[in-house]
């Protein structure tokens, strides 16, 4: 159960992203700054952590040896992922974004052939149940918003849900135990900086510099979600990286983000508790996650 519990703990810290992004959007913060500031502010924290572990030279060597690889998968795994999440916050509530994000549970296992692994079809039945819950949540708001708004609040999150596991798995495949969790996060953060700098230029032209409030809230996202949650999640997936079924189960723990996001929005943003189809969809997602966990911890995890 250790990887599962670590994954659930990471989901709690990841939920900070969805809650604070809604807060920043509500106070007029530009979505690009909400995204880019997280990685700018993560960087000094990560340098301190990796430097304390005396691994800066190893990270720099890896970046220098394969710059194209790092730029590609740093931009995909961190850039495409988080820009999509923040862009969607301008069009959809946090709980819907957190729910749609669970598509990553299906995307992760389907990427297995890219890493010379077999697709864990036995696990996908539970992933499909989770995705069904996501669709129910989207249907719950489909009648209250325009098609354009719904697409802008959903499609970028789906792209993010594919980009994140792709970047993470590519890094694990190439470096295995040669780079630790913090090493990989620092390397990917550095490699994604060109992407963030270009986007920040567009934001500056449109609205000028970010407010002090947005910088402060982005700092919290950088700490809780960017450093703590990402480290926990990368560590949990590293523990089971060679076992597709268990890896899929760890990735599925991210469905708990919905629960933590709803509770956070209720407490801090005074949001309305989801009801009807939305609530049923959340229960469906949690049921799929529970079945995923039971299968992962079964004494005999065999494909069927």
Neighbours of 1 (CB within 10 A): 9
Higher pLDDT, 212 or 301: 212
- List, for residues 11-28, the tens digit of each pLDDT value: 999 888 888 888 888 788
Average pLDDT over residues 113-142: 79
With a pLDDT cut of 90, the percent of the chain lying above it is 44
Asked whether the predicted pLDDT for residue 39 surpasses 90, the reply is: yes
Whether pLDDT at 301 is above 60: no
Residue 297 has pLDDT above 70, yes or no: no
pLDDT score of 121 more than 60: yes
Q: What's the whole-number mean pLDDT along residues 214-224?
A: 93
63-67, 122-126, 227-231: least confidently modelled range: 122-126
Higher local confidence (pLDDT), 73 or 8: 73
pTM: 0.83
How much is the pLDDT for 205?
A: 96
Of 70-74, 178-182, 203-207, 286-290, the range with the lowest mean pLDDT is 286-290
Would you place residue 302 in the very low, low, confident or very high pLDDT band (cuts 50, 70, 90)?
very low
How long is the chain? Answer: 304
pLDDT tens per residue, range 176-214: 889 998 999 999 999 999 999 999 999 999 999 999 999
Q: What is the mean pLDDT of residues 244-249?
A: 77
264 pLDDT tier (thresholds 50, 70, 90) = confident
Which has more pLDDT, 228 or 278?
228
Residue 156: is its pLDDT beyond 90?
yes
Residue-wise pLDDT for 97-114, tens only, equals 887 887 887 788 888 888
């Amino acid at each position: 159960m250790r990887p599962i519990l670590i994954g659930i703990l990471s989901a709690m810290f990841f939920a900070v992203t969805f809650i604070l992004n809604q807060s920043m959007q509500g106070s007029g913060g530009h979505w690009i700054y909400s995204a880019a500031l997280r990685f700018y502010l993560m960087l000094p924290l990560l340098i301190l952590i990796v430097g304390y572990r005396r691994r800066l030279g190893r990270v720099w060597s890896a970046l220098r040896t394969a710059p194209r690889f790092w730029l590609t998968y740093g931009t995909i795994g961190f850039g495409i992922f988080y820009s999509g999440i923040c862009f969607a916050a301008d069009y959809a509530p946090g709980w819907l974004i957190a729910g749609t994000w669970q598509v990553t549970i299906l995307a992760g296992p389907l990427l297995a052939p890219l890493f010379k692994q077999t697709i864990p079809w036995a696990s996908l039945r539970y992933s499909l149940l989770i995705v069904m819950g996501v669709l129910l949540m989207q249907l719950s708001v489909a009648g209250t918003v325009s098609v354009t708004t719904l697409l802008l609040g959903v499609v970028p999150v789906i792209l993010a849900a594919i980009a994140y596991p792709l970047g993470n798995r590519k890094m694990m495949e190439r470096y295995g135990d040669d780079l630790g969790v913090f090493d990989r996060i620092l390397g990917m953060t550095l490699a994604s900086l060109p992407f963030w700098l270009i986007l920040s230029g567009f934001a500056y032209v449109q609205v000028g510099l970010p407010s002090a409030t947005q910088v402060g809230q982005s700092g919290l996202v950088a700490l809780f979600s960017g450093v703590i949650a990402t480290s926990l999640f990368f560590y949990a997936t590293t523990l089971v990286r060679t076992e597709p079924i268990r890896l899929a189960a760890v990735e599925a723990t991210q469905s708990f983000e919905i629960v933590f996001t709803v509770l956070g929005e209720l407490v801090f943003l005074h949001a309305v508790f989801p009801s009807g189809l939305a609530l049923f969809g959340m229960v469906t997602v949690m049921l799929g996650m529970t079945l995923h966990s039971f299968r992962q911890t079964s004494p005999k995890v065999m494909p069927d």
